[in-house]
Amino acid sequence: MTPNRVSDEQLGQLARKQHDLFRRVREGSLEPDRVLSGLQAIIEGGPMATFDPVAFIGKGWSIRPEDQVLTTAPLKIDPKKVVFKNMFRDGETVLNGEERLRRHQEAKNICLGVENFYWCWTHQDQLPEEWKLTENGEVRYVLFDATVLRRPGGGRHVLCLYWSGGQWYWRCRWLDDGWSAQLQTAVLAG
């Protein structure tokens, strides 16, 4: 097999882009885990999800680097290797979303984020049956806590998927809300 020739101009473009990535990670305008996940997807030849909150949700929605505190799962995951955690402690039946994020951070859980959400949304046929209902047979709201989104007024939210009426739906969940056991974070097993 003959290797493809790469022009000096293409190599120059690649070097400039690499320099720009390093600069933006150093400045904090790009999340290092997201850059690494994207580069790994390129290396593995896998799907590269690109989530744009404005295009997907609406005007004014954003992802701010300073809001991201949880370890993010790699882009390429096996949905069958995901477990669901609500982070309740004994006797709790409702938990505030912000407290749930703190507990995931404490436990060092590797949570799924918006890039994983976007892959799931665009590959719904590959989601296992277990994602649809909790152990009690209730609708499971699958939370993608690794990425916090900001709505136009500044409120902090996370995305979730849920199964209802024979199809998948999505919505944004406000982190200041009290959440029941049906709302479970998607976490990599292990």
pLDDT 10s digit of each residue in the chain, 190 long? 456 678 888 788 778 778 877 887 888 766 676 677 667 656 665 545 568 898 889 999 999 888 888 877 777 788 899 999 988 888 888 888 899 999 999 999 999 999 899 989 988 999 999 999 888 888 999 999 999 999 999 999 999 999 999 999 999 999 988 888 888 889 988 7
**Pair 75, 41: CB distance under 8 Å:** yes
Q: Which residue in 136, 132, 123 sits closest to 165, CA to CA?
A: 132
